[in-house]
Chains A and B, each alone.
Chain A
Amino acid sequence: QQQVKQSPQSLIVQKGGISIINCAYENTAFDYFPWYQQFPGKGPALLIAIRPDVSEKKEGRFTISFNKSAKQFSLHIMDSQPGDSATYFCAASHGSSNTGKLIFGQGTTLQVKP
């Protein structure tokens, strides 16, 4: 029940296209859903995050869509650029545990072709 499942494992998109990465969770106690971006040899960096009281959050070209009833959330990268080529991780945590610990998905390697 602690798992977060992420798909696809890898994704190739043409420059200017839309990249979509999906995640599903089981634990309904989760109340914080961040997406992290990681470049090779670097630590992950927070990209965007959402809480279940909203269905969508947009920051620039990045949008999170959240479906509470389906227990799914997704990252949309509009107008994808070669500089977006990286590994993306979804994650979840529940504030009631007060630990701040994150459960991560398996990661998606995105390649944006010029």
Chain B
Amino acid sequence: AQSVAQPEDQVNVAEGNPLTVKCTYSVSGNPYLFWYVQYPNRGLQFLLKYITGDNLVKGSYGFEAEFNKSQTSFHLKKPSALVSDSALYFCAVRPSGSARQLTFGSGTQLTVLP
């Protein structure tokens, strides 16, 4: 069975500083990895994904994530944080193949301080 760990419930960063939200995973075979963001009283919004290819993937709103197979990690990063980036971030994984079930982490609340 697959699993996702987001070790930090809360991440605080000053506006303009780089941010990192951590994610590690466990899955049989090759993983498909995703990051989603959720603003208050809204659904989850897709940010980026890793399926295959380049380990550094770029997504919406200047976010990027690096797939590290040896460390089974998929950390979300942004070079310069904005106050509007404050939200709840979810990492998710599914095994390659026909399985449809996405397994989500418990989420990390990002707060960007002005």
A in complex with B: no
